[in-house]
Every structure is written in C-alpha cells, then in structure tokens.
Amino acid sequence: MMVIGFNWPVEHDNTVALILDGELVFATEEERYTRHKHSPGELPFGSFNKLFNFMHKNNLKPSDVDAFALNFNHKKFPLIKRYWAFRYSLFTAAFYGTPILKNKNLFTRLPFLDLNSLAEYFIRHVYTKNNEKMPDKIKIIPVEHHIAHAASAYYFSGFKSCAGLVLDGYGERDATSFYQIKNGEFEKILSIPATYGSMGLMYEASSYKLGYENLEGPGKLMGLAPYGNKSQYYNKLERFLKINTNGLPFYFDIDKKYRKSVNYREPYEKIFDYVTPKINWDRHGELNKKAADFAWAVQKVAEEAVLSAGEYVKELTGENKLVMAGGVALNAKANMELYYANLFNDMFIFPAANDAGTTIGAAAYVYEHELGGKMKNKRIETVYLGPEYGDEEIKNVVEASKFKYEYIGDDVGVVADLVKKGNIVTWYQGRAELGPRALGNRSIIANPTLLDTWKTVNKIKGREWWRPLAPSLLSEHKNDYFINPVDHEFMILMFKFKEGMKERVPAVYHVDGTARPQTVSYKQNKNWYNMIKAFGEETDEYLVVNTSFNLAGEPLVETPKDALRSFGLGGFDAMYMQGWLIYKH
C-alpha cells in the first residue's frame, strides 16, 4: 500500500513524502528545487516530479497510490481562516498554471470552501504534467495538523507507548498539544490554542523585533541568546507567561479580547510591543547588548514553557518516553533543558520537526488509521530520503567542470587530511537529508581545533559571525566530549561540553559551553564515518565541524550541478563528491 503526503493548503516547508508498506521510503522538500528557503507559497511540482522518478526506478506505479494525505484538516479552521486558505490556494494554483479556474464545476463547490477539491485539481494537474496515468480513484484524506506532527514523531520513534508533545506556531487552532500514545492510538489530553499558547508565534513576533523574518529568525535568536544576560526584557516578558496556572502548564496572559482573534499573531505582537520597540542593530557588526539580552529573555521564556510542558505531559500520562515535533521542537537548547531535567528515559524528536515533517506524519497516520495498514514503527536513524543522482551523472558534471579533480572512491582519509590542514571542504554524496540539518550527505566540513574555521565558515555562508557551528562525531566518542550524552543523529538536541573542550575544539564550542552534535555510526553512513575516523586518527579529535552545504540565503544544495555551482562560487578549498575529489586551487 502506498500513501503520498503533501502540504495543503500550501504554506511553507512544502514537502512530498511516500509511505510504502508501512515505511517511509522517500521525502523531499520543494525548496531544494525552487531554491527558495522554506518554499513559501510554492506548489510542490519539483518534489512530485522527483517522487515519480523515484517510484519508476523502484518499479512502483504512481497510478497505484492508495491515498493522498494532507497536513491540515481545513474543516477545523475557523470559518474566516478556511475562506482565506481556500482563496489563497485557488490563486496559488492558478498562478502556477494549474487550469483550475477553467473548471466548470469549481464554482459549484465554492460555497463549501472545499480545500480537498482544490487538492484534487492540483493532483490531477501534477499527474498530467508528468504524463502519469491517473489513479482510478483519487482518495484525499486531510489530517489534523497537530496529529500529523505527533504522528511524525511517534511512527518513527520505535516506541510502543509514550507521551507526545507538539509545539508550533499554529495548526488549525492549536499551538501546543499533549498526547498519550499507545499502540498507534493518539489520545489528545490537552491543547492550548494559538492565541495564548503559541511558543512558535512568540518566537516569530520576537524575531521581527530584531529585524529577522519569521522562519529563519527563531534559530538565530537561539544562537544569540547565550551572549546575553537577564535584563528588563526578561522581567517584562515574564509578566505575560503564566506557568502551571489555571490548570495549564503555560499560557500567555493578555487581554481576553485577543483570545478570540482569528489573527493568531496579534496577541504576540501586543506583548512584544510592550516589551520593546524594534531594536536597531548591525547583526554582522559588534555584538549588540540589547539584542543579545532580548534574545536571552525570549529563549529563557521558551525553555521555561517547554520544561513545564514536559513536566505536565509526564505527570498526566505517566509515560517514561517522550516524542516531540512542531517547529518549536527545533529549539535544540530548550530540548536540552528538557533532556537534562531527566523527566524521561528516552526522547525522540522528529528530525523534520517543522511542517516538512507533517506530510510524513499525515501519510503515516492515514496508512494506519484510514487504510488499515500497520506502520513498521522502527526508530529512524537516518533521513537520507531525497532523490538519487547516479555515478555517471556525477562523473559528467565533474568532468565538465573547470576544476582539477581526481577519483579517490571511498578513500576518504585524503579528505580528512585536507580538513586537518585547515581547508574548508564541501562534502556531497548520495540521497539528500530531509529537514533543516546537513547530516553528512550535503555538508561543509572544517577543522574544529582551529578557531579561525568558525569565522571563515560563517563568512562563506553569509552567516552572522557569532552564530555557532555544530559538530559531527563518532558515536563511540560522544562521552569524551559531552556530559551524559546519548546517540543523537539529527542535531536538534544540544549537550553540554565537558571541561577542557573549549581549548580542544574551539570552533564548535558555543559561548555557553554547548553544542548541537550529530553522532555518527558506521552503519548509518559509511563514508562519513570513515572520514571522521580518519580525521580522529590524525588529530586525536574524532569530531569535525559540520554545517549545511549551501551559500548565503539558499537552501541545501540538491543536485550535483547545484553542488558544483555553490562550490565554485563559495570560498571553499576542495569538494568530495561521491568518490571524486575536486580542488579549487
């Protein structure tokens, strides 16, 4: 049985995923093809095309798809939001050339604001555009947004029963929701609406105060926070956050008239207008105390809320395992606070915790709850789920380049040696990672023992100089570096460094003594493992700097051509590309 999941209505982080016989076999994000980070408002034409190619390569027929899962249930939107979503989807579809406005039946459906019918038009168009035979019946099943998040975390955790925590900007109405999950049954035990329980919207509103956009800002604030201190910003913000009050683990206390607003952002804008006017600062210049103190306050409040949410769900469910998803679950620092609080003896955070993951969760949920299948529910250890690019294609791209190159196959010790000498090397192989982190298939690597590499890599990527870089290290060496770590493959859980690490690996040592690592095993990624191992054998540090392979403002490179172009334009020294080593000089 096959279920395809995709985002509908189209918002951001558009992703197409395929569940086949209870397993996730393919997922790719539209941003990789449009080359616009987070693919805002972009229909997933590129992703569907890659999915169809993948299916044909694996003898699967797109016409055999049993159902299409959507990551929102539009019927649960407030009416006005449903209207906006319908209108927006209609015009987006028309804008992208879907012949939707020509359909005579369309307007008979308009009064019902039926977003499923628009999704069906889109599916028909995408099949036709790709010369694919249409499935006999196009079965479209919308899934409540937070259930889709919770399902993404649960079905790939390997847990039978657990507590579930979803924190994002907002779903249809909810912003934070709590679950008890047993054998694939999801019992929602509490949800806090978007107008007073959204950590995602709190982060967005605060990002604007520092001049950042809503999708990129929160991660940057998290990186900036440790440079700040407790200040008037925290004192002001704290007044609004109620912890363990009125039966809720947390909520924002603001005039009740805003609670009914259908503009979910409004209460948070009011809060932050009280906290501070917009802070003018040069994000690439000297560190700005106001900006850092403000980021500190926002992060602190987020951590207090996440911790309280964790305690609440633990108490109500009595479970000793936790799964998490939702954009706020990308806050690796808040996750760390929860981890070190030792409330749970195992935590699984879905690697694409943002809305990219909801298409996967929705598809898994439909597979089990609507089609009667059984998800395999194995703990995923890798997310190399994108399209494949064959050796022949890579060879052609390399040979057509103007750079000096040689074939080294899997002799990746040569790469480790270049990294050891201080070179900044891009690393490209296999299927792309799903989610916002590079995990050894589309990475930039550098020597963590040289402090300079931190600033050089940030400069190449157009990142603010103060933002931390993360490490990838061999799983068996995690205890050498971190306090009480566990294997964590996805870089969304921070750990505290042990003493003395600032001197040993300064390029990945953040100012508060933390890092957001990827632990790597041989089984997960042989070449990646071997390269880090070779680096360790030469330097005694079984750890490298690993950041996503992209240029400033771009999403992760996808195709071999993207990789070569970015390598050529960026200040990199060499590139390992599926067996080839390419030199800039």
Binding site for Fe ion (CB under 5 A): 168, 355
CB of 168 or CB of 303, closer to Fe ion: 168
Neighbours of 99 (CB within 10 A): 12
* 119: its two tokens: 């999704």
* 247: its two tokens: 């039966």
CB of 350 to Fe ion, least distance (A): 11
Spell out the alpha helix ranges (H) of 461-557: 478-481, 501-504, 526-539
* 419: its two tokens: 């990294």
CB of 177 or CB of 276, closer to Fe ion: 177
CB of 355 to Fe ion, least distance (A): 5
- Identify residue 316 by its one-letter amino acid code: L
- CA distances in angstroms from 191 to 139, 446, 478, listed in the order given: 29, 43, 36
CB of 330 or CB of 563, closer to Fe ion: 330
CB of 8 or CB of 294, closer to Fe ion: 8
CB of 176 or CB of 458, closer to Fe ion: 176
Spell out the alpha helix ranges (H) of 423-499: 451-460, 478-481
CB of 194 to Fe ion, least distance (A): 11
CB of 366 to Fe ion, least distance (A): 17
Spell out the alpha helix ranges (H) of 276-346: 289-317, 332-340
* 579: its two tokens: 């067996």
> Helix, strand, coil proportions of the chain in percent (round to 5)?
40, 20, 40
Which residue's structure tokens are 């972009």?
A: 42
Q: Which residues contact 146 (CB under 8 A, 6 or more apart)?
A: 166, 168, 171, 174, 177, 188, 191, 326
CB of 415 to Fe ion, least distance (A): 37
CB of 355 or CB of 541, closer to Fe ion: 355
Q: How many CA atoms lie within 13 A of 235 on its CB side?
A: 3
- Identify residue 503 by its one-letter amino acid code: E
Cβ atoms 330, 118 nearer than 8 A:
no
Of all residues in this chain, which one has the CB nearest to Fe ion in the complex?
Answer: 168
DSSP letter, residue 132:
P
Q: Could you give the dihedral angle defined by the CA atoms of residues 557, 558, 562 and 564, in that order, rounded to the nearest 10 degrees? A: 80
CB of 11 to Fe ion, least distance (A): 9
- Identify residue 377 by its one-letter amino acid code: N
CB of 77 or CB of 428, closer to Fe ion: 77
DSSP letter, residue 188:
E
Q: For residue 9, is the peptide bond before it cis, meaning its omega torsion is within 30 degrees of 0?
A: yes
CB of 24 or CB of 352, closer to Fe ion: 352
Q: Which residues contact 95 (CB under 8 A, 6 or more apart)?
A: none
CB of 570 to Fe ion, least distance (A): 32
Cβ atoms 344, 321 nearer than 8 A:
yes
- Identify residue 386 by its one-letter amino acid code: G
CB of 200 to Fe ion, least distance (A): 8
CB of 13 to Fe ion, least distance (A): 9
Can you tell me the distance from the alpha carbon of 26 to that of 383, in angstroms, rounded to the nearest whole number? 9
Cβ atoms 70, 140 nearer than 8 A:
yes
- Identify residue 92 by its one-letter amino acid code: T
CB of 217 to Fe ion, least distance (A): 16
CB of 213 to Fe ion, least distance (A): 17
* Greatest extent of the chain over all pairs of C-alpha atoms, in Å: 70
- Identify residue 282 by its one-letter amino acid code: D
CB of 93 or CB of 201, closer to Fe ion: 201
CB of 352 to Fe ion, least distance (A): 11
CB of 337 or CB of 355, closer to Fe ion: 355
CB of 144 or CB of 554, closer to Fe ion: 144
* 252: its two tokens: 């924002």
Can you tell me the distance from the alpha carbon of 187 to that of 189, in angstroms, rounded to the nearest whole number? 6
Neighbours of 287 (CB within 10 A): 16
CB of 13 or CB of 554, closer to Fe ion: 13
CB of 14 or CB of 518, closer to Fe ion: 14
Q: Are strands 580-583 and 574-577 parallel, antiparallel or unpaired?
A: antiparallel
CB of 174 or CB of 337, closer to Fe ion: 174
Can you tell me the distance from the alpha carbon of 238 to that of 202, in angstroms, rounded to the nearest whole number? 12
CB of 168 to Fe ion, least distance (A): 4
CB of 356 to Fe ion, least distance (A): 10
543 forms beta bridges with 473
Can you tell me the distance from the alpha carbon of 501 to that of 398, in angstroms, rounded to the nearest whole number? 38
CB of 309 to Fe ion, least distance (A): 16
CB of 434 or CB of 545, closer to Fe ion: 434
Can you tell me the distance from the alpha carbon of 492 to that of 436, in angstroms, rounded to the nearest whole number? 10
